[in-house]
Amino acid sequence: MNKKQKKVLIRVIVASVLLILCAVLPTTGYVRFATFMVPYLVIGYDILKKAWKGILNKQVFDENFLMAVATVGAILLGEYPEGVAVMLFYQIGELFQSYAVGKSRRNISELMDIRPDYANIEVDGKLEQVDPDEVEVGTIIVVQPGEKIPIDGVIEEGNTTLNTSALTGESVPRDAREGDEVISGCINMSGLIKVKTTKEFGESTVSKILDLVENSSSKKSRSENFISKFAKYYTPAVCYGALALAILPPLVRMLFLSAAPEWSIWIYRALTFLVISCPCALVISIPLSFFAGIGGASHEGVLVKGSNYLETLSQTKYVVFDKTGTMTQGVFEVAGIHHNTISQEDVLEYAALAECASSHPISKSLQRAYGKLIDRSRVTDIEEISGNGVTAKVDGKNVAAGNAKLMERLGVDYIDCHSVGTIVHVAVDGKYAGHILICDMIKPHAKEAIQALRKSGIKKTIMLTGDSKRIADQVAADLGIDEVYSELLPGDKVSKVEELLDAKTEKEKLAFVGDGINDAPVLSRADIGIAMGALGSDAAIEAADIVLMDDDPLKISKAIHISRKCIHIVYENIYFAIGIKVLFLLLGAIGIANMWMAIFADVGVMILAVLNAIRALFVKNL
């Protein structure tokens, strides 16, 4: 609890004790009135003050005004215990609501802890702490073990392990070494590193994420907008309704029935009507449900830009994926080695050495798979044959590494490979040595992600790619994706998404999932744009509606689960709160519900609705 909440708790306890004492003491008349006024003012002075300010500012109709009128009216009618009790229980409900909001804010606050306080710059052999805003691009900053990386950059010196849990929601640390890019907000866990900054602090990942979260509450869902409009008209309506209830029945009784008007009975019913009608349960619990949902999602490494996007995501029935970088790793890797006359290790070694002078992604993948320091002194006479491959002398032997065209050009009988991917054939001294399969590897959880989406009620999964039909069909079949469209240009992807949008119904929403780097047009065009693998991607954070802060496709189904749970809770609270209010308003109008029942209809319903709302914070493992 914060200081303000503790003060309210103390007031609640003191007022409760005083109320019990006042009820027990055998007082009458003005003495009884004076004794009950003590706990009433202890617990309600701030509500009375807010109500008076509202009247002065011509903003009369709010919950403070309703509580003030109802409790003052009860006291004037001589119902002292009920007047004090209404104010007491209202404050208990407010305290409970304040605590619940604080609890839901803690997940957001944990995310806010990624904001760095300083950056270390080395000056004359000593470290000086400076404000991250003052650090220019290209500056070398020093990050010691246990410190946050303050600004995006590239490691110039040192190796370490990074804790990225504040950004991704994942507890598994990541290794980082010289030449690797690092982003702000990660915690340096082990070694001292020197980082050359590549962005200003205001443009760094941490700043963009913080700005995204801080502004998420400004983008309200239709449910929240409905409640805001509802409260705007509802509160004045019930105030006038209460006034009519207090005046009209006694007048009718007096004028038409020639009976005593019974003013006190109908004024009491009107005051009870006011207490019941207080819209706290709706006004508090609905925004709290969305806030809790966004907080629970951020804890899982899912950043939602506003409750409107959370609402749209819950209605998603079609999920469209980009392939490269989304369902696949976007990095060529050696997937298999088939040897003929020499061992697998020798096939890979000869290929890596022959390709050592090339910067082509295929060559880089061979060198990574080889995993040893390449001794270029072993390689001579390198010749690159465009569209075919390379030839070179390795340890004095003639080595050729390339596609089938190169083998045919050299007159080498090769063994064809039917696997999907890039095939690098290797020949040594004119004899076929084997071939290496290189492909863009499917992400570890991609297949599970598709299965999880199907279980969650997604009607159809679709994949769009610029790759060849053969590769696209193979990947789609391996993952279990329903439809695949291949050999598409970026503009073709937008057109295809528009076709899919036209084919579905209005209530069914379409989500596009991309890596956020070259998918901005499609992310913007879909009903909901989800950027994944977006750690440090400016394009993703700006173009997408939802950002998954790591590259795990399983987070997509988790995000949908969070959104649906949140919306389910919102509608539960709307139906429950309105249903109870209507029932008790009718009971109050006909005199069955008294002030104590009104307390339950107001504070009790609010507490139950708030308890239900904070369930959105908790996300079960799927």
Return phi, psi of residue 342, to 5°. -130, 175
Could you identify the residue written with the tokens 């994949």? Answer: 463
Dihedral sign for Cα 275, 277, 281, 283, please.
Answer: negative
What distance in Å separates the CA atoms of residue 613 and residue 557, rounded to the nearest whole number?
21
Distances (CA, A) of 287 to 211, 306, 343, 573: 20, 11, 65, 11
Our answer to whether residue 211 is catalytic in this structure is no
Dihedral sign for Cα 528, 168, 203, 117, please.
Answer: positive
Please identify which of the residues 133, 152, 180, 322 carries the catalytic annotation: 322
End-to-end CA gap in the chain: 32
Q: Are 309 and 222 in contact (CB under 8 A)?
A: no
What distance in Å separates the CA atoms of residue 248 and residue 495, rounded to the nearest whole number?
64
What distance in Å separates the CA atoms of residue 607 and residue 614, rounded to the nearest whole number?
11
C-alpha 419: how far from its chain's center? 39
Number of residues in the chain: 622
Q: Are 617 and 104 in contact (CB under 8 A)?
A: yes
**Left if phi > 0, otherwise alpha if psi is -120 to 50, otherwise beta: which for 156?**
alpha
What distance in Å separates the CA atoms of residue 479 and residue 556, rounded to the nearest whole number?
15
Exposure string over 268-291, b if 16+ CB within 10 A, otherwise e: bbbbbbbbbbbbbbbbbbbbbbbb
Element housing 349 (H / E): helix 344-354
Q: Are 548 and 305 in contact (CB under 8 A)?
A: no
Q: Are 209 and 111 in contact (CB under 8 A)?
A: yes
Q: 209: Cβ–Cβ under 8 A, 6 or more apart, which residues?
A: 111, 114, 167, 185, 303, 541, 549
Q: Which residues are catalytically annotated?
A: 322
